[in-house]
Chain A
Amino acid sequence: MRWLQIARKDFDDSRRERQLYYLLGLLGLVGLGIGYVVGDNSSSSMAASEVLPLFLLNVFGFIAPIVALTISQSDIVGKRATGELSVLLSLPFSRHTIVLGSFLGRIAVLTAVLVPAFVLASVLSTAMGAPLDVALLATTFLLIWTVGVVFTAIALGLSTLTRSTSIAAGGSFGIFLLFVFQLWSVIPTGIRYLLGGLSMPSGPKPEWAAAFIQLSPFTGIRNLAHPIAPELLRNFPLALGSVGESVPWYQEPVFAGFVVLAWIVLPLAIGYWRFQTTDL
């Protein structure tokens, strides 16, 4: 249970550095804002129970990855830079305990700042007369939380991989550009441009390009959850393409499940592999 001690310390660090409180305040305000807007329009045509979940999904689909990247990219590399890692590793903690514990600690921070925001939004909008669909709201939370967990894994993997705090910071900005700014969707076009002898690709998109685009974390999560809440996910933010009537193999929920799992496991595994072979 040593990873639990690391996880608790990691969470407490966030509290002691006030980071947790700033995020609670900031995300709480966003939650209240959403709740107010939804509640304020509850008597108009927007008076449907999926308005609040849709609103939360779109706003937090954007905020959750940014929060996850911000709080996680500096976690391990920062401890390495300050020498804190040497202290932890002079105690009977193994390096994988540090990585796993930090991952769980960061997820705890993420959860602790997301839950109040969702609660505030729901309570305020309901108090102002908007309808509440608890099941749909819970599904929305789970989706946003999964987005956060994936980006926590990516950022923490990066933080474990490198010894330079600036590479970790720059890299997480790159991750932001790639997935939130959706540069990912341009990559197949870029490859086709290069393969086609530096001329703009024309004609229908080949299957590999379509499949590649479906490998982004947001798209993977959308494809995974689509059968559960199709009406909610029709407009899942930051997911590429759309899910049609008959889904191709790369949009199958099982395949998407592996994609999402890979985005969590691979960054951590690569980061850990590098971490355990290098000097502190």
Chain B
Amino acid sequence: MAAIETNGLHKRYGGDILALDGIDLHVEEGEVFGFLGPNGAGKSTTINILLDFVRPTEGSATVLGMDAQADSQSIRQRTGVLPEGYQVYDRLTGRQHVQFVIDSKDVTADPDALLERVGIPEAGDRTAGGYSKGMKQRLTLAMALVGQPDLLILDEPSTGLDPAGAREIREIVTEEADRGATVFFSSHILEQVEAVCDRVGILRAGELVAVDSIEGLREAAGDGATLRVELATVTDNAIEIVEGVPGVTDVTQRDGGLTVSVGDGSKTAVLSALEDAGHEVTDFRTEETSLEEIFMSYTEGSR
């Protein structure tokens, strides 16, 4: 069953601002799904429709098999949410924050254990007004984890966290997924979702431009990997030889060496072909297409 399913989701604000232009999203139960896109691409609008904060102009959405509008309350009973830009209550302690969520969901849970789990055991008795940005974000995560929800919706969970904090969030996401929960989380930084996501969806200007696994994205991004070969002397013959190797898509000469775009499995073939032809390879290295480049190619490029 799909944990999240949207069909032709359109959202127009005030008649002329098109925030979403036909989003068809399918997130499987138990999947960790990264929802990516630059700021303003429509990530929050999509999440807001899933939570019924915002009504779609066209199209429909189901969450955990229930209609996002008609059954919103039942959906939220089984969903843990980390809202974007959450403001904590300055005069409430961390424990009171978590307890409020426990009460609202009518579940039994230990607030202190949850605070411990997100790495702020000291926050239980302190009022949230004095928290650092990172502590606030961790508290919000603790609130989202209350009651072992079937679905976690995390809107930019790494905001305000240092790299160590971001890593801890990823660990918690992995733990939750191992428990069987579906995790849907948005980010504008691809690296944050890379390590944990089964699949990612990339949103650009209200359109879903790609949905795939990270590897799939890498492949789809074309070039695959780039091989950099340093030669004692570069000759036209060397270029011809490399071009003749199966799988090579592009060869350019630069600074006494060659930059070769190759598909999978043919990198060593390029090196042996050169050496067999008597060219002296002084150095080589492979450069994988960086995730950032893939992301950019989707969100800014002409695709």
Contact = CB atoms under 8 A, between A and B. Distances in A.
Interface of A: 2, 5, 9, 16-17, 82-84, 86-87, 89-94, 277, 279-280
B87 A82 contact: yes
Interface residues of B, number: 25
Given A90-B51, A280-B53, A5 B91 contact: no
A280 B83 contact: no
Contact of B104 (A2, A16, A84): A2
A93 B104 contact: yes
B51 A5 contact: no
B213 interface: no
B55 A92 contact: no
B111 to A, nearest CB: 15
B285 interface: no
Interface in B79-102: 79, 81, 83, 85-87, 89, 91-92, 100-101
Given A83-B86, A280-B54, A92 B77 contact: yes
B105 A91 contact: yes
Interface string B99-115: 01101110000000000
Contacts of A92: 73-74, 76-77, 104-105
Interface of B: 48, 51-55, 72-74, 76-77, 79, 81, 83, 85-87, 89, 91-92, 100-101, 103-105
Contacts of B74: 92
B76 A5 contact: no
Contact of B85 (A2, A9, A83, A279): A83
A86 B55 CA distance: 14
Nearest to A2: B104
Nearest to A280: B53
B129 to A, nearest CB: 10
6 contacts: A5-B104, A83-B87, A87-B86, A93-B104, A279-B55, A280-B53
- Choose among A5, A17, A91, A279 the residue with the greatest number of B CB atoms under 10 Å from its CB: A91
Given A16-B91, A86-B83, A94 B48 contact: no
Contacts of B72: 94
Given A82-B87, A84-B87, 7 more contacts: A5-B104, A9-B100, A16-B89, A86-B53, A91-B81, A94-B72, A279-B54
Contacts of A279: 48, 53-55
Nearest to B101: A91
A123 to B, nearest CB: 32
A94 B86 contact: no
Contacts of B48: 279-280
A94 B81 CA distance: 15
Contacts of B55: 277, 279
Contact of A83 (B83, B91, B100, B105): B83
